[in-house]
């Protein structure tokens, strides 16, 4: 049973470009229905990483995950200031309120 889904015009164009790429790559005509099914299967197989990348979703780390991250920390013996860190992370120093 089919269902109608509203799709923005720019997304329709992207879907058509992707469909054309899939057709050329596979050597067979791929229809939009099949392509959408493959996209959904792939998104579901990647679960939380897909959601986090696509929608910025995140969840708090579990205690075990947090401990694992902390175990990766090591002291390199280099002194750095918060301004230096900001410059590396953000490309510029951040002004701080005093």
pLDDT grade, residue 93 (50/70/90)? low
What does the mean pLDDT of the chain come to?
A: 84
Instruction: Report how far apart, in Å, the C-alpha atoms of 65 and of each of 50, 51, 62, 71, 72 are.
Output: 19, 19, 5, 10, 11
Verdict on whether the full-model pTM lies above 0.75:
no
d(Cα 56, Cα 50) in Å, to the nearest integer? Answer: 9
Note the pLDDT of residue 58: 67
Cα 77 to chain centroid, rounded = 34
């Amino acid at each position: 049973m089919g269902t109608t889904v509203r799709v923005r015009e720019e997304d329709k164009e992207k879907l058509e470009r992707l469909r054309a790429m899939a057709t050329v790559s596979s050597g067979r005509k791929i229809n939009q229905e099949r392509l959408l099914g493959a996209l959904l299967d792939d998104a579901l197989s990647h679960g939380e990483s897909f959601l986090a990348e696509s929608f910025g979703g995140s969840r708090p780390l579990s205690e075990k995950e947090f401990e694992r991250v902390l175990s990766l920390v090591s002291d390199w013996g280099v002194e750095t200031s918060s301004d230096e860190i900001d410059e590396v992370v953000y490309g510029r120093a951040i002004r701080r309120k005093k």
